Structure 1
Amino acid sequence: MKAERAKEILIQLLKIPSPSGHEDRLALHIMEFLHRLDYDVHIESDGEIIDLIVNPKAELFFEVHMDTIDVRVEPFVRGNIVYGTGASDIKGGIAAILLMLEQLRKEGKDLNVGIVFVSDEEKGGRGSALFMERYRPKMAIVLEPTDLEIHIAHAGNIEAYFEVDGKEAHGACPESGLNAIEQAFRMLEELKKLEPFRAKGKYFDPHIGIQELVCENPHYLIPALCRGRLEARLLPEQEVEDVLDLMDPILDEYTLRYEYTEIWDGYELGEEEEIVQIAKKAMEITGLSEFGGMRSWTDAINFMYNGTKTIVFGPGNLDISHTRHERIDVRDVVKASEFLMAVNDVYGKG
């Protein structure tokens, strides 16, 4: 039964911790799995990053990252649901690829696409950057948790670290001080009023929020300094530079200093693109029907910036990824594997 085999493969993957920078053991496990199926595996490395590549001359690649965040939950199973850090993001996707490769061998079919397993997606995206330095495939499917939606659009993003200063006063005398935490939230209120963050999107809406805020205050004071991190999600059609022009005056007013640490534009592929047409045919074969848009940074950005037309797809749920509740239904792993198999077949027929 495919679900049981998918569960077995996934549990093996989850039992090998692979936080960013420590993917070696998992890479070795994947290599051994592929060698048992008689696939040749090419290794690309710059001394720090390791990528594993199968069928390197292909023009259509399936890409998936081997790393996870630091382990928060050890793997365990309840029926068809597998829990644990990385189950959804994205070892369920790795399992789908391995299940597909195993099925191809059983059916005596050719592998028409390339496969690349990359490192460092969760930290810096250096694995996909290294791959794209040395290979330039025409098209790609990047595996990420999309609830089996085919994401032909991708959000843009702005990340900024900031410091907000205020004025110290005794905690019982707020009138004499200026609360840095309250200033940070006033800044956020002003940012949320900007037109780009009040727009409506086709697949998701834009958003800006504070994801980290640190203020040390051991002396019962009105806090005079806090540090934090802003994250902004943009619509595919919104230009990052235009949004920065609106954000800068507000950050200048409220912060002591700030620094943009991540900036990228999103994108949306037209339905006339070859990769979208291939995906549509595979959707018809497998019964999948939903297009969507990816809300988070993925390696697809590195692929698109280097000219590779890329969609994002995979089993798992982005909402619960990285959380203590991360989990995946192995039946979705099977469905993802069947879709990838269909893409391989459609592409092979030209």
Structure 2
Amino acid sequence: MKTERAKEILLQLLKIPSPSGKEDRIMLHIMEFLHRLDYDVTIESDGEIIDLVVNPNAELFYEVHVDTIPIRAEPFVRGNIVYGTGASDIKGGAAAILLMLENLRKEGKDLNVGIVFVSDEEQGGRGSALFMERYKPKMAVVLEPTDLEVHIAHAGNIEAYFEVDGKEAHGACPESGVNAIEETYKMLEKLKNLEPFKAKGEFFDPHIGIQELVCENPVYLIPALCRGRLEARLLPEQEVEDVLDIMDPILDEYTKSYEYTEIWDGYRLEPDEEIVQMAKQAMERTGLDEFGGMRSWTDAINFMYNGTRTIVFGPGNLDISHTKFERIDVRDVVTASEFLKALNEIYGKGA
């Protein structure tokens, strides 16, 4: 039964911890899995990053990262739900690919697409960058948790680390000091009121917020310094440089210092593009009908930057990914595998 086999493959992956920088064991497991199915595997490495490539000459590639955040939850199963760090992001997607490859062999069908398993997505995206240095596929499907939606749009992003300066005073005398925490929230309120963050999008809305804030205050004082990290999600059509131009004056006003650490533009594919049309056919064959947009950074940005037209798709839920409650329904892993198999066939007929 495909559901039980999907569960078995996924649990094998989850039982091998693979936080970013420690992907060696899981890459070896995947390589042995592929060799048992008699697939040739090309190892790409720069001495630190490892990628595994199957069918390297294909013009359509399926890409999935095998690294996770540091382990927050050990794997366990309740019925068809598999829990554990990486279950949703994105070992469920890796299991869908492996299940597809296994079923293609059982059915005597050809693998028409290329496959690449990459490292380091969660930290620096160096695995996909290494792949794109050495390969230039025309199209790609990047596996990420999308709730089985086919994402044809991708958010842009701005991330910045900052320090907000205040003035120290006794805790009972707030009028004599400047509270760095309160200044930080004044800054955030001004940022939220900028026009780009009040816009509305088709698949998601723009957003700006603080994701990390540290303000040490070991004694009874008005806090004088806050350090933090803010993140802005932009619509695909919003230009990062335009948004930076109106954020800078506010950050200049409120911060002691700031540094942009991640900046990228989003994108949106047109309905008539080849990869979108093939995906639509595969959706019809597998009972899927939802298009959407990816809200988080993914390897798709590296692919698109290098000219590869890329959709994002996979089983799993982005909302619960990275949390201690991360989980996935293996029936969605099976559905994702069937979609990928249908797309492999559609591409093969047109190649």
Quickly name the TM-score band, shorter chain normalised: over 0.9
Q: What SS does the corresponding residue of 2:250 show, helix, strand or coil? A: helix
Equivalent residue letter for 1:113 = V
The CA RMSD over aligned residues, in Å, is: 0.3
Does residue 212 (structure 1) correspond to residue 212 (structure 2)? The answer is yes
Q: Which runs of 4+ in 1 moved over 6 A?
A: none
What residue is the counterpart of 1:234 in the other structure?
234
What residue is the counterpart of 2:50 in the other structure?
50
Does residue 195 (structure 1) correspond to residue 180 (structure 2)? The answer is no
What residue is the counterpart of 2:125 in the other structure?
125
Q: CA deviation at 1:158?
A: 0.2
Q: CA deviation at 1:298?
A: 0.0
Does residue 278 (structure 1) correspond to residue 278 (structure 2)? The answer is yes
What residue is the counterpart of 1:27 in the other structure?
27
Distance in 2 between residues matched to 1:176 and 1:2, nearest whole Å? 68
Q: CA deviation at 1:200?
A: 0.2
Given the two structures, how large is their TM-score scaled by the length of structure 2? 1.00
Q: CA deviation at 1:314?
A: 0.0
Distance in 1 between residues matched to 2:83 and 2:217, nearest whole Å? 38
Paired residues in the alignment total 350
What residue is the counterpart of 1:336 in the other structure?
336
User: Structure 2 matches for 1:133-144, cutoff 5 A?
Assistant: 133-144=133-144
Cα offsets for 1:154-196 (capped at 9, x unmatched)? 0000000000000000011101000001000000000000000
**Gap regions ≥5 residues in structure 2:** none
Equivalent residue letter for 1:8 = E
Q: CA deviation at 1:94?
A: 0.3
Q: CA deviation at 1:273?
A: 0.6
Q: What SS does the corresponding residue of 1:310 show, helix, strand or coil? A: strand
Cα offsets for 1:242-291 (capped at 9, x unmatched)? 00001000000000000000000000000111000110110111110000
Q: What SS does the corresponding residue of 1:189 show, helix, strand or coil? A: helix
Percent identity between matched residues is: 86
What residue is the counterpart of 1:76 in the other structure?
76
Equivalent residue letter for 1:2 = K
Q: CA deviation at 1:219?
A: 1.6
What residue is the counterpart of 2:91 in the other structure?
91
Does residue 148 (structure 1) correspond to residue 159 (structure 2)? The answer is no
What residue is the counterpart of 1:307 in the other structure?
307
Equivalent residue letter for 1:61 = F
**Gap regions ≥5 residues in structure 1:** none
Equivalent residue letter for 1:217 = N
Equivalent residue letter for 1:176 = S
Distance in 1 between residues matched to 2:108 and 2:258, nearest whole Å? 57
Q: What SS does the corresponding residue of 2:320 show, helix, strand or coil? A: coil
Distance in 1 between residues matched to 2:66 and 2:92, nearest whole Å? 11
Distance in 1 between residues matched to 2:261 and 2:167, nearest whole Å? 27
Q: What SS does the corresponding residue of 1:148 show, helix, strand or coil? A: coil
Does residue 10 (structure 1) correspond to residue 14 (structure 2)? The answer is no
Cα offsets for 1:196-238 (capped at 9, x unmatched)? 0000000000000000000111121100001000000000000
Distance in 2 between residues matched to 1:212 and 1:79, nearest whole Å? 36
Distance in 2 between residues matched to 1:218 and 1:66, nearest whole Å? 41
Equivalent residue letter for 1:149 = E
Given the two structures, how large is their TM-score scaled by the length of structure 1? 1.00
Equivalent residue letter for 2:276 = V
What residue is the counterpart of 2:264 in the other structure?
264
What residue is the counterpart of 2:167 in the other structure?
167
What residue is the counterpart of 2:319 in the other structure?
319
What residue is the counterpart of 2:67 in the other structure?
67
Distance in 1 between residues matched to 2:288 and 2:347, nearest whole Å? 17
Q: What SS does the corresponding residue of 2:344 show, helix, strand or coil? A: helix
Equivalent residue letter for 1:280 = K
Distance in 1 between residues matched to 2:200 and 2:225, nearest whole Å? 35
What residue is the counterpart of 2:221 in the other structure?
221
Cα offsets for 1:64-116 (capped at 9, x unmatched)? 00100000000000000000000000000000000000000000000000000
Q: What SS does the corresponding residue of 1:319 show, helix, strand or coil? A: helix
What residue is the counterpart of 1:36 in the other structure?
36
Distance in 2 between residues matched to 1:270 and 1:276, nearest whole Å? 8
Distance in 2 between residues matched to 1:77 and 1:286, nearest whole Å? 26
